[in-house]
């Protein structure tokens, strides 16, 4: 197992280190916004997923992970068991991407809402130099990788967006309403708050 690199020299602070006020960068603002969006969009998605009947929720609708339930389980695997530990702890877990971590839909919902809420505090604690470093990890298939840290973190949030879009398309195809999940909708909502 290869640990996550925290700086270009591969010997940097851990995710629990708090950056000095002068160490906060544009990267922090950018990824804080993506983490806020990630949570906001997931909460809004569940407002509609929760309305699905059990049959619609578990029906094979032709998604890569078959159903809304299967796709949400994949998000939990990717979010909670694969990517977060790589970034936060420097550990690489070996788990199948189609593993069913939660059979119970309420437990799956709670697990995903917890998982998406974990990113903001971790991102806030990273020193600015970490974003310019690399993420060294081992894939779920056991292959060592070293990728640009900031771009790979962008992948995590993009991955969530990709699968939320699949779910909203499936829900719409079943004849149900879905929320607007565009990032600008969150920004507009934030601007409207006093």
**Between 1 and 66, residue with greater pLDDT:** 66
Q: Could you tell me the maximum CA-CA distance found in the chain, to the nearest angstrom?
A: 53
- Determine whether domain 30-192 maps to CATH 1.20.120.450: yes
- Vertex 49: Cα angle to 102 and 189 (nearest 5): 120
Angle at 173 between CA 167 and CA 176, to 5 degrees: 80
Instruction: Give me the chain's average pLDDT, please.
Output: 88
Residue 68 has pLDDT above 70, yes or no: yes
- What is the domain partition of the chain in residue ranges? 30-192
Taking residues 91-100, report their average pLDDT: 87
| Terminal-to-terminal C-alpha distance of the chain | 47
Give pLDDT, residue 9. Answer: 33
pLDDT tens, residue by residue, 38-64:
999 999 999 999 999 999 999 999 999
| Alpha-carbon gap, residue 194 to 191, rounded angstroms | 8
Least confident of 4-8, 111-115, 170-174, 179-183: 4-8
Residue 135, beta-bridge partner list: 147
45 Cα distance to chain centroid: 14
pLDDT at position 99 over 90: no
d(CA 113, CA 42) in angstroms, rounded, equals 7
pLDDT-based confidence at residue 14 (cuts at 50, 70, 90): very low
**Residue % of the chain over a pLDDT of 90:** 71
> Could you tell me which of 154, 119, 147, 143 has the C-alpha nearest to residue 133?
147
pLDDT score, position 147: 97
What average pLDDT does the segment 118-137 reach?
95
pLDDT value of residue 184: 87
Q: H helices then E strands: how many in the chain?
A: 9, 2
Kindly list the distances between the CA atom of residue 78 and the CA atoms of 35, 75, 129, 194, in Å, as whole numbers in the listed order.
15, 5, 25, 35
Q: Which pLDDT score, from 0 to 100, does residue 11 have?
A: 37
pLDDT in tens, 149-176: 999 999 999 999 999 999 999 999 999 9
Q: Is 4 exposed, middle or buried (0-12, 13-18, 19+ CB in 10 A)?
A: buried
Tokens of 79: 């979010």
For the CA atoms of 47, 52, 54, 55, what is the dihedral angle to 10 degrees?
-150
Residue 112 in contact with residue 92, Cβ under 8 Å?
Answer: no
Query: Which of the two residues, 45 and 96, has the higher pLDDT score?
Result: 45
What number is the average pLDDT over the span 30-37?
96
At residue 140 the predicted structure's pLDDT band, cuts being 50, 70 and 90, is very high
């Amino acid at each position: 197992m290869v640990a996550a690199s925290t700086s270009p020299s591969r010997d940097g602070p851990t995710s629990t280190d708090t950056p000095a006020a002068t160490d906060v960068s544009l990267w922090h603002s950018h990824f804080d916004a993506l983490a806020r969006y990630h949570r906001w969009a997931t909460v809004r998605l569940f407002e509609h997923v929760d309305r699905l009947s059990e049959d619609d929720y578990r029906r094979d609708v032709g998604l890569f992970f078959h159903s809304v339930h299967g796709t949400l389980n994949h998000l939990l695997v990717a979010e909670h068991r694969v990517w977060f530990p790589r970034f936060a702890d420097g550990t690489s877990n070996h788990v199948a991407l189609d593993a069913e971590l939660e059979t119970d839909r309420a437990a799956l919902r709670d697990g995903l809402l917890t998982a998406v809420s974990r990113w903001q505090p971790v991102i806030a604690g990273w020193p600015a130099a970490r974003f310019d470093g690399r993420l060294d990890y081992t894939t779920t298939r056991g292959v060592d990788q070293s990728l640009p840290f900031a771009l790979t973190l962008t992948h995590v949030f993009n991955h969530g967006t990709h699968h939320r879009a699949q779910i909203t398309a499936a829900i719409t195809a079943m004849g149900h309403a879905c929320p607007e999940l565009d990032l600008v909708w969150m920004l507009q909502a934030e601007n409207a708050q006093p």
